[in-house]
A = this chain, B = another copy of it.
Amino acid sequence: MKLENPDVVETTFHVRYAETDAMGIVHHASYIVWFEEGRSAWGRAKGLPYNDFEAAGFFLALTDVHARYATPALYGQRVTVRTRLSEVRSRSLAFAYEIVNADTGALCVSGTTRHICVTREGKPTRLPDTWKVRLGAA
């Protein structure tokens, strides 16, 4: 199901020097890591920390990522990642993200990721019902 008006969870942090590259800006792969940190913050805010999910024997394997780059972030800036769960299906989830300059609000990068639920052995499986309920999707 597509989710109507899903909650947006925000997390804010400083750009790390290691995340920059020789162009003097944040390297494009760093934002992909920030999307993931946005998901982690989303899970913590929802009372569904991802490590609990793994402890229960389920894993979310990423199947698609798309990112569109607007304005580069720089070392010395703080960024905010805004994460929302955009879709829940029986075996998959999708998230949408916006990364903005925390001080100016300027959009740096937007994107989406899609994930399937897998067992420890990597076999696709249904999202546990208890989680779907807690995700507000059952």
Which residues from chain A sit less than 8 Å from chain B, CB to CB?
Answer: 13-14, 16-18, 20-25, 27-29, 32-33, 36-37, 40-41, 44, 49-51, 54, 59, 61-69, 72, 74-76, 122
Contact = CB atoms under 8 A, between A and B. Distances in A.
Contacts of A21: 17-18, 20-22
Chain A: interface secondary structure?
A: mixed
Given A17-B50, A18-B27, A33-B29, A69 B64 contact: yes
Contact of A29 (B23, B29, B50, B76): B29
B20 A61 contact: no
9 contacts: A14-B37, A17-B40, A23-B59, A28-B36, A28-B62, A29-B29, A32-B65, A49-B76, A61-B69
